[in-house]
């Protein structure tokens, strides 16, 4: 019992070995699996973690982590909102049945044309991060004859203990400073502009956050700022506070649970509502936590080579299908299926790319006993920031994606790309069909 609770806490999705092999025969390897039940569990975990907040809590799924339409549909059906950063993501959401009025649109570039497009598509909540971007939004809203609800993305410049931190300058604005690009100036402009409705503030501190203190520090700074601005703009009201993403995922090392992250933050948020006398609602964004643990990458062992005490195991996958293993040396929990006996060798898992970086980093507790040609090797918790990075390096096709429904049924959620499709996509058809420019 203790064991199973622990496994559950770590979000370890279990799929019977015979199913993994059956799907491998049917689809070829590698392939990904996305599990509906785990997606729902993760969403419930987040809802529970923030349930003591005294206003409404909106969970917004960050589409950039994984935009597979089957996965989007699960979140749409279960009432989340969406954190969207491009018109292209918005297209995916709408085509999957999503509602643009439940979108928080946070652009990186904040272009004039982009804002026109998304406002015409029905987006209502827009997060601005620069003065020029706000001017673009004002022009776009006048052209579209709509009154968007605007949030200001602040960069609270607090210390963040996390794998990936939001960098200064590129994202958000400081509260104050010498340039126009400050929260103070954005707020003044929004309040002077009748086409816009100010609704609140947004920050996103980083991804895979290991210590919730950064949220508390950010809220302290925000409180001071709002109190000060209230003197200048007496009818200033915060209706929404968006605390961004960052809830961490189990990758082989213990991390705080959503409740560990949320509990102190919620207490502080409730205090803040009373102190400021503003009954704001809360938006919690999450990409990684909501999507990662629901997904496996299943690959096959193609070859094995012994070199001293080490056993090099060659897989039919590589960082073209798990980019973060190269980009940020992300460790994923990995298993050989079925497990075998210890043989005394230290396993080195290598990918199929001609590239020294294409060696998978392994956690200290990884055991890959009995790994041999033909067996499956499963990378776990890969649902976030992996299949969205698939690339055709070495003329490799995109793998299939399997969706496991809550009732245990497996359905195809993305076809394995054919080599011919890839050839044409890369310009192969233009060889015979010149396009004069």
Ligand X SMILES: *Cc1c(COP(=O)(O)O)cnc(C)c1O
Q: Contact positions toward ligand X, by CB under 6 A?
A: 62, 64-65, 83, 106, 204, 207, 244-247, 285-289, 384
Minimum distance, C-beta of residue 275 to ligand X, in the bound complex (Å): 26
Please report, in angstroms and rounded to a whole number, the separation of the first and last CA atoms in the chain: 67
Among 65, 58, 120, 117, which residue's Cα sits nearest to residue 86? 117
Q: Identify the residue whose tokens are 């995916």.
A: 92
Instruction: Report the alpha-carbon distance of residue 416 to residue 195 in Å, rounded.
Output: 47
Instruction: Report the alpha-carbon distance of residue 115 to residue 8 in Å, rounded.
Output: 42
Q: Identify the residue whose tokens are 């100010």.
A: 198
Looking at the Cβ atoms of 83 and 358, the one nearer to ligand X is: 83
Minimum distance, C-beta of residue 384 to ligand X, in the bound complex (Å): 6
State whether residue 297 is helix, strand or coil. Answer: strand
Q: In sequence order, what E strands does 160-239 have?
A: 162-165, 197-202, 206-209
Q: In sequence order, what E strands does 210-290 have?
A: 240-242, 281-286
Instruction: Report the alpha-carbon distance of residue 142 to residue 196 in Å, rounded.
Output: 9
Minimum distance, C-beta of residue 323 to ligand X, in the bound complex (Å): 15
Looking at the Cβ atoms of 148 and 287, the one nearer to ligand X is: 287
Minimum distance, C-beta of residue 381 to ligand X, in the bound complex (Å): 13
Looking at the Cβ atoms of 41 and 421, the one nearer to ligand X is: 41
Minimum distance, C-beta of residue 284 to ligand X, in the bound complex (Å): 9
Minimum distance, C-beta of residue 253 to ligand X, in the bound complex (Å): 16
Classify the C-alpha dihedral 324-325-329-332 as positive or negative: positive
**Nearest residue relative to ligand X (C-beta):** 245
Looking at the Cβ atoms of 171 and 379, the one nearer to ligand X is: 171
Q: In sequence order, what E strands does 243-309 have?
A: 281-286, 295-307
CA distances for 117 relative to 30, 135, 137, 139, 140, angstroms: 37, 15, 11, 12, 9
Among 310, 424, 316, 425, which residue's Cα sits nearest to residue 373? 316
Minimum distance, C-beta of residue 66 to ligand X, in the bound complex (Å): 10
296 CB-near residues (< 8 Å, 6+ apart): 13, 15, 32, 33, 378, 379, 380, 382
223 CB-near residues (< 8 Å, 6+ apart): 272, 275, 276
Looking at the Cβ atoms of 89 and 358, the one nearer to ligand X is: 89
Minimum distance, C-beta of residue 85 to ligand X, in the bound complex (Å): 7
Looking at the Cβ atoms of 245 and 318, the one nearer to ligand X is: 245
Looking at the Cβ atoms of 29 and 291, the one nearer to ligand X is: 291
Minimum distance, C-beta of residue 165 to ligand X, in the bound complex (Å): 11
Looking at the Cβ atoms of 53 and 171, the one nearer to ligand X is: 171
Looking at the Cβ atoms of 23 and 247, the one nearer to ligand X is: 247
């Amino acid at each position: 019992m203790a064991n199973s609770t622990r496994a559950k806490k770590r979000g370890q999705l279990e799929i019977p070995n015979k199913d993994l092999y059956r799907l491998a025969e049917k689809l070829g390897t590698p392939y990904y699996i996305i599990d509906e039940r785990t997606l729902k569990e993760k969403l419930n975990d987040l809802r529970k973690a923030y349930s003591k907040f005294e206003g409404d809590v909106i969970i917004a799924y960050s589409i950039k982590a994984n935009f597979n339409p089957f996965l989007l549909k699960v979140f749409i059906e279960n009432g989340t909102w969406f954190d969207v950063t491009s018109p292209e993501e918005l297209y995916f959401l709408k085509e999957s049945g999503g509602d643009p009025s439940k979108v928080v649109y946070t652009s990186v570039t904040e272009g004039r044309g982009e804002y026109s497009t998304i406002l015409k598509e029905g987006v209502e909540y827009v997060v601005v991060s620069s003065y020029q971007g706000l001017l673009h939004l004002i022009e776009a809203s006048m052209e579209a004859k709509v009154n968007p609800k605007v949030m200001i993305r602040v960069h609270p410049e607090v210390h963040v203990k996390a794998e990936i931190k939001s960098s200064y300058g590129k994202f958000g604005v400081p509260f104050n400073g010498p340039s126009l690009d400050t929260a103070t100036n954005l707020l003044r402009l929004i309040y002077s502009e009748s086409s816009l409705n100010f609704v609140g503030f947004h920050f996103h501190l980083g991804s895979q956050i290991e210590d919730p203190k950064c949220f508390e520090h950010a809220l302290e700074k925000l409180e001071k700022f709002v109190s000060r601005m209230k003197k200048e703009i007496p009818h200033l009201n915060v209706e929404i506070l968006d605390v961004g993403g960052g809830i961490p995922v189990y990758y082989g090392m213990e991390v705080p649970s959503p409740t560990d992250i949320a509990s102190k933050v919620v207490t502080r948020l409730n205090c803040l509502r009373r102190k400021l006398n503003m009954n704001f609602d809360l938006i919690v964004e999450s990409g990684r936590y909501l999507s990662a643990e629901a997904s496996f990458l299943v690959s096959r062992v193609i070859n094995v080579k012994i070199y001293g005490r080490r056993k090099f195991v060659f897989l039919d996958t590589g960082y073209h299908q798990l980019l973060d293993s190269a980009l940020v040396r992300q460790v994923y929990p990995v298993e050989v299926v079925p497990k075998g006996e210890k043989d005394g060798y230290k396993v080195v898992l290598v990918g199929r790319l001609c590239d020294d970086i294409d060696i998978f980093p392994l956690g200290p507790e990884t055991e890959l006993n009995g790994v041999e040609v033909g067996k499956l090797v499963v990378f776990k918790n890969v649902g976030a920031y992996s299949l969205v990075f698939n690339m055709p390096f070495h003329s490799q096709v995109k793998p299939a994606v399997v969706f496991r429904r809550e009732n245990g049924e497996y359905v195809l959620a993305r076809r394995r790309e054919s080599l011919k499709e890839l050839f044409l996509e890369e310009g192969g058809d233009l060889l015979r069909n010149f396009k004069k420019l």
